[in-house]
Structure 1
């Protein structure tokens, strides 16, 4: 995706209140789509569309965790970003997204540093 397209895509998804609520809520703790639907006061199909949009832009990650009540697993979502910056340099807009490092990436860097 070109940087111009990425700026437009990120701006479009952040324009949506449900997407913003998903990002803020999942920055506190991973949440299921059902919980997000309740927190966003939005239908599950709307929440799933926004989750897809956010995952496509790598602003959100999907995780599987055990469900202590049902004995199964459930899918939860967590924010994958810390900061989005848009800068005006040399007459052009530049987008940068600071993402949270993946736990596997942090472990790899730790081992490589030894």
Structure 2
């Protein structure tokens, strides 16, 4: 079972997203994250020290470019896995001559939509 921690994110600021995407290690993680992986797996695959990997995962998660999933295990040893949560980042120059940003996200699966619905039902109880 996987718990979704991305149900209702606060939109990140342009600076937060650009800072994450400007970072070379963050871009390396994005390039190599083809499926949900643990921090250790990401560290090994990207050849980035584990302590640095955790900092970069935090930056990408804060920018809402990654989603942290918690894999619930019956033995009680839960594991965090990370996956990409964007397909495109679009920057435009708004009429006020300020940068406007949109993050295009992949479609949510039926399981994810059901988990979101269940979360909303539980809030009402």
TM-score, scaled relative to structure 1: 0.74
Q: How many residues align?
A: 103
Report 1:27-106 matches (<5 A): 28-65=34-71, 72-90=77-95, 91-103=97-109, 104-105=112-113
Q: Which has the higher strand share?
A: 1
Unaligned runs of 5+ in 1: 110-114
Unaligned runs of 5+ in 2: 1-10, 118-125
> 1 or 2 for the larger relative contact order (CA 8 Å, sep ≥6)?
2
- What is the Cα-based RMSD across aligned positions, in Å? 2.8
Find runs of 4+ consecutive structure 1 residues off by over 4 angstroms: 70-73, 106-109
Q: Which has the higher helix share?
A: 1
